[in-house]
Homo-oligomer: A and B are copies of this chain.
Amino acid sequence: MTDTLDTLPTPCLILDRAILRRNIGRVTARLKPAGVQLRPHLKTAKSVDVGRMATAAFDGRITVSTLAEARYFAAGGFGDILYGVGIVPSKLPAVAALRRQGVNLRVVTDNMPVAQAIAAAGRSGDSFSVFVEIDSGAGRAGLPFPDLPGLIDVARTLHDAPNVELAGVMTHAGHSYHENTPQGIARVAEQERLAVVTAAQRLRDAGLPCPIVSAGSTPTAMHARRFDGITEMRPGVFVFNDLDQAGIGSCGAGDIALSVMASVIGHYPHRNQLLVDAGALALSKDISAQEFMPKAGFGFIRDAPVKDLAVVACSQEHGFVQADAPLPYDKLPIGSRVRIWPNHACITAAAYDRYHVVDSEESDGRTVVATYDRINGW
């Protein structure tokens, strides 16, 4: 029997393939004419099916955030994989093992101890491809721009080692998530571009190679005014979008492809609330969207019969749903189903092992037309 939104067990994760296709198309249309490759960050989708769709118009390179993802996507046929979280020496044997299988799994560092460990492993016969990470203003990992302290030393240590390829430089302007105007995001995008293009130029000025100049986040991919000098972009959440991206203006509410379907399990008119069977695990406790959408709570209810109906609190398996206006309980009877837009799709999706795929263009948007698996864990 084919499942539909009426028969799937709740809570579960629903992916609208029509919106997914449009979201991928929108980023493709921005990068392709600029001659920029898309290396999608598949930490969001963690799905081979989504990865294939996202890379269909490009050369197939991808980004991952865990070794488990690297193994999974390698098994799924992806051959150029950037593991985008700073590598540590204890993980080099696992990287080398995948590379020996013919997968170009590339790693990232921003410091000399790791560069030296990679160089030593290279001398022992393992091969590596390494990006130097640049901090373009997010204040997370990377050599901080504009000083870029140690850039040449780290890069030269890698480049001079046998079996080690200096792949280039990479950055992620995570601070773009805290802007909510196209102008503000474009300004961050230009910082991101300038940081990584400058770093590339410094390497070349020092006689070092820098074939790949890698940047990107969903907001900067959507709002950057120029990509000059950048060879690839690494947005991730754009495939699904979420309330956080809608809040900052990377997408509209109609562009959110992912939702958590839940059942109404109880009515509490004495406090103008109802409960659903999606709580902290089914939605995550990420509240990113509240920065620019204070009423988003742990997620707005899609197609709600009352304004700003949201999950306002969570315990492990209970979501507390509320609105400013009196709840129309007759329209949300016990046992009925609601779909909740995630605050932050990457974190919400991580609780699930699969997507139940519907399609609001090629199908009725309610029948499950496919199931995509996911790779969780590490």
Contacts and interface: CB of A to CB of B under 8 A. Distances in A.
Interface in A16-70: 43, 65-67
A181 B296 CA distance: 33
Contact of A85 (B87, B117, B265): B265
B86 A275 contact: yes
Interface size class of A (residues with CB under 8 A): 35 or more
B141 A266 contact: yes
A110 interface: yes
A219 interface: no
Contact of A334 (B85, B111, B320): B111
B318 A140 contact: yes
A89 interface: yes
B351 A113 contact: no
A175 B176 CA distance: 38
A291 B266 CA distance: 28
A141 B7 CA distance: 24
Interface string A335-354: 10000000000110011110
B285 A347 contact: yes
Contacts of A88: 10, 263-265, 277, 334-335
Nearest to A350: B281
A174 B89 CA distance: 44
A65 B316 contact: yes
A124 interface: no
A305 interface: no
Contacts of A286: 280, 285
Nearest to A66: B317
A102 interface: no
Which of A11, A111, A265, A270 has the largest number of chain B CB atoms within 10 A? A265
Which of A111, A282, A316 has the largest number of chain B CB atoms within 10 A? A316
A208 B10 CA distance: 33
Contacts of A315: 140, 174
Interface string A61-101: 00001110000000000000000011111110010000000
Contact of A316 (B271, B318, B320, B347): B347
Given A9-B90, A316-B65, A144 B270 contact: yes
Interface of A: 7, 9-12, 43, 65-67, 85-91, 94, 110-111, 113-114, 117, 139-141, 144, 174, 263-268, 270-271, 275, 277, 280-282, 284-287, 315-318, 320, 333-335, 346-347, 350-353, 376-378
10 contacts: A9-B94, A88-B265, A88-B334, A91-B263, A139-B268, A141-B275, A284-B285, A285-B285, A316-B347, A353-B376
